[in-house]
Amino acid sequence: MPRSALRIRLSRPGDVAALERLARVRNTAPPSGRALIAERHGVPVAALALTSGAVVTDPSRRGGDAVALLRLGRYRLLRQGGEVGRLSSRTGRAAAAAA
């Protein structure tokens, strides 16, 4: 994998500690609810809350490009279904609403 390659994914329940570590670096609150996480070599470098758009980054890990990709990913998810609360962590797409 190239050095600058990023992996963008939806957060999972097991990511709470990683999100808290990212927020602690900047002395901010971690994203609440579902988030998109940018990882470089398996290490989270930035996260973006899907509902609010709030961002947390690790300034020591070159997160600027990650933030732009996270914002683009959030935009695309919102355009697909509009409801970020119903996202499936398996597919990364808006899940069908249970009627």
Q: Which residue has the higher pLDDT, 26 or 95?
A: 26
CATH architecture under which domain 7-83 falls? 3-Layer(aba) Sandwich (3.40)
- pLDDT 10s digits, 24-73: 988 888 988 899 999 988 889 999 999 999 999 887 776 678 899 999 99
pLDDT of res. 4: 63
Q: Tell me how far apart the alpha carbons of residues 17 and 37 are, in angstroms, rounded to a whole number.
A: 13
pLDDT of res. 3: 52
- Residue ranges per structural domain of the chain: 7-83
pLDDT of res. 85: 55
- pLDDT 10s digits, 13-22: 999 999 999 9
